[in-house]
Amino acid sequence: MEFRYLGNSGLKVSEITYGNWLTHGSQVENEIARESVQAALEAGITTFDTADAYANTAAEKVLGKALKNTRRASVEIFTKVYFPTGPNGPNDTGLSRKHIMESIDGSLSRLRTDYVDLYQAHRFDYETPLEETMTAFADIVRAGKALYIGVSEWTAPQLREASALATKLGFQLISNQPQYSMLWRVIEEEVVPASVELGISQIVWSPVAQGVLTGKYKPGQPVPEGSRATDSKGGDDMIKSWLSDETLTKVQNLQPIADDLGLTMAQLAVAWVLQNPNVASAIIGASKPEQIASNVAAAGVTLDAEVLTRIDEALGGAWERGADKTKSPATRLV
């Protein structure tokens, strides 16, 4: 496993982060989830990402139980706040001081820890003054409940304003967690340049495009049984935009490139996002423990300029761009 600094901080994270969105408390049984976390630890992963909203708090509980016998100082635990939890009352969502302060205590209890290494704003809240949000985060850092603060899916202007407020309030904004893959490159135009300027790293989710970049979805064929595309709990909605025969045909063009490098297509996809120097870590999930070791092999892989060009040619412009595609919900009452 290789490690990188997270933003302009002294915190090191593993190049591969284990994430439990759409798995723990949802897709897989708790015992398999525990085995997957153990497999991640054995593979050298030290960084674990979750959120209070995942499976309506159940994912945090599963992760906390799975890590209970692990030396706390040896792992980095990340969680998030914003989306509705509980019965979705008027203050059960968003980035108000009330919701943030109540949410951090709930997360710590479920995760069985006194602090999280990184506490992230899961989306931008247009309905709460940003200064209120950032002041609450500053107080959480001062209270020792979170060591660092990050965000997820924020635009470049939002990152700049939040970073300035954080500096004023005496702490650092060190990370952003966006979607990023060969097929989803929307952060490259504005978010990454702003982040480099501000000392913010990306912790990217869906580096294999919800499984499409593994090559298991074939053009002209039904989706595999039990795959993300058949998951009515959220996976099928996320993946459907990439399931056209045109896109799947282009993805199959990546197989010879992976073969030449002695990599699986999934390893190639994860290695690709890690070539961006602003990316500190790529988040992977797993529905079974044996998937972990395979994906971890992408850490430390270097893709030269010729390979990157071959990848672009193989995909033939199948990716999404456009800074306007980075956005948060217009309202926090969803």
Give catalytic residues, as residue numbers.
Answer: 54
The letter for the amino acid at 286 is A
| N-to-C CA span, the chain | 39
Please, what sign has the CA dihedral across residues 176, 178, 184, 190? Answer: negative
Cα–Cα distance measured from residue 202 to residue 277, given in angstroms and rounded to the nearest whole number = 9
Q: Which of 66, 21, 76, 42 is nearest to 293 (CA)?
A: 42
Pairing of strands 3-5, 12-14: antiparallel
Residues contacting 162, CB < 8 A, separation 6+: 130, 134, 151, 154, 173
Instruction: Locate all alpha helices (DSSP H) within the chain, ordered by sequence.
Output: 30-42, 58-66, 97-111, 130-142, 156-169, 191-198, 235-239, 245-252, 255-261, 265-274, 290-296, 305-315
